[in-house]
Structure 1
């Protein structure tokens, strides 16, 4: 029985508000810092109200980069990050859903062995296997390329496991009905499994897009050509300056702009994202 007490509602709302403040306050500080001159940021007394330098800062950042500290325009870094995030998200979903389809609906030798071998790779993130992965990418000539940024991060044991669990909840009667109607495996996959997995695909796409967008270590390792810099790695390179102080207003403005694409993806796909996370019945 759920108790309906006023003080519990008030406590819940206070907890939620405090959680939002804790999460949102650093973002607010980053925005405030982008509206002031870098001298105020370095003074250690950061104002809590917007300054008068916001229009100038964002105009200069968006107009082609800050010549003192940005080696490439911001729009190019955003484009590179977008290509990388979309390639990783779409690639992971396509490979994972086909792998799960084969494991659940096909009978072949060592089927479960193959699944568990995929699942065990969860213990081997990119950071653990980064040296051999870099060696393979370098030997294949994929450094400073979109393929080198994306392909090593496409395989996903987590997504394969999630799709496998989704397919196991789909009644076998649907497969039998499709077989009676003369549908082949790929027609069954395309016309029945994909529509039933739509919300799960949307939820997974949001998570994987943010995962690809926020990649930091791998892009730094495989890109030495400024034309392939991503936005997250670009922020780090802006802060690493020699013989001068970092222009923190431009760095913070870039960080604020870098947060917008993931936020927009979550907002536009919020309904499918939430439904995909909580839906348990087909």
Structure 2
């Protein structure tokens, strides 16, 4: 019996790889599509299974009610306000983590001072102390500073990142000493070296960390739940939880699904728009 040619085997392997890829996309994307379909139907249709697999006629009404009419179960707050709150928090956390982590990694790698490595390991050890562990003292500090129901109260406790500090440190350590010496010969001080040389070289790393931390900030649940009392300061994840009642009949499922779609959409857009920089920042080791 003749053996299959290498070309045929390669074609079969490629076909199988594409099959598993398409299957994986379907498994991952179908729940998101199903939520979108549910957001275009009435509450009665959603509560009467099975839910149709095609979009319904209520899309314009559902989205208009969510944006303009407000959501009654959370005090009539509109989706515009929820999205604005969540965007401010996510951007603040992402940019704050990048700024603090980059500055600390820069100091650890390029400056010589006593207990330099001890400081780094103290930062690294905080990886074992998630927000849940230090939640009580952090909340007490926010209360004492009067930062409950404020954007600083939502953002400041979450902007320290040992992971980002480690990633920036590892990248900075790949910068050749000759580049630093050349900058010194040209009369560049620490700030100019950082601004003109280190920052441009770090853009792909910054982009990768921004994507990760933006999604981290966007999906925060526990800390915003504790530090906000007013519905006006809720993030979209907290609003979703408040919209759901124990009784299905009391839950505006059409608005819940609209809110879910809009909670999913911004992180997806960030990943899609920045995926080239994101992948490059994760895999590139030589600049």
TM-score (norm 1): 0.95
| Distance (whole Å) between structure 2 residues aligned to residue 45 and residue 254 of structure 1 | 21
Report Cα offsets for 1:223-269 as digits up to 9, x if no partner: 01122111111111111377952011110011101222212222222
- The corresponding residue for 2:211 is 206
- The corresponding residue for 2:4 is none
| Distance (whole Å) between structure 2 residues aligned to residue 113 and residue 97 of structure 1 | 18
Q: How many residues align?
A: 281
| RMSD of aligned Cα (Å) | 1.8
- The corresponding residue for 1:66 is 71
Q: CA deviation at 1:40?
A: 2.2
TM-score (norm 2): 0.93
| Distance (whole Å) between structure 2 residues aligned to residue 159 and residue 20 of structure 1 | 29
1:266 aligns with 2:268: no
> Against the structure 1 CA distance between its residues 149 and 68, is the aligned structure 2 distance closer, same or farther, given a 3 Å change threshold?
closer
Structure 1 stretch 150-159 or stretch 243-252: which is displaced more?
243-252
Match of 1:96 among 101, 116, 131: 101
3-state SS of 1:5 partner: helix
| Distance (whole Å) between structure 2 residues aligned to residue 170 and residue 48 of structure 1 | 53
- The corresponding residue for 2:181 is 176
3-state SS of 1:63 partner: helix
- The corresponding residue for 1:125 is 130
Report Cα offsets for 1:162-189 as digits up to 9, x if no partner: 0000000111100000011111111111
Structure 1 stretch 215-224 or stretch 268-277: which is displaced more?
268-277
Where do 1:193-232 residues align within 5 Å? 193-232=198-237
1:34 aligns with 2:39: yes
Match of 2:251 among 246, 252, 276: 246
> Against the structure 1 CA distance between its residues 68 and 116, is the aligned structure 2 distance closer, same or farther, given a 3 Å change threshold?
closer
1:6 aligns with 2:21: no
- The corresponding residue for 1:21 is 26
1:140 aligns with 2:170: no
| Distance (whole Å) between structure 2 residues aligned to residue 108 and residue 66 of structure 1 | 55
| Distance (whole Å) between structure 2 residues aligned to residue 202 and residue 72 of structure 1 | 32
Report Cα offsets for 1:40-85 as digits up to 9, x if no partner: 2223322211111111101111114133555311101100001101
1:82 aligns with 2:87: yes
| Distance (whole Å) between structure 1 residues aligned to residue 43 and residue 186 of structure 2 | 69
Match of 2:57 among 52, 70, 75: 52
| Distance (whole Å) between structure 2 residues aligned to residue 88 and residue 66 of structure 1 | 27
| Distance (whole Å) between structure 1 residues aligned to residue 244 and residue 129 of structure 2 | 30
3-state SS of 2:250 partner: coil
Structure 1 residues without counterparts, runs of 5 or longer: none
> Against the structure 1 CA distance between its residues 170 and 49, is the aligned structure 2 distance closer, same or farther, given a 3 Å change threshold?
same
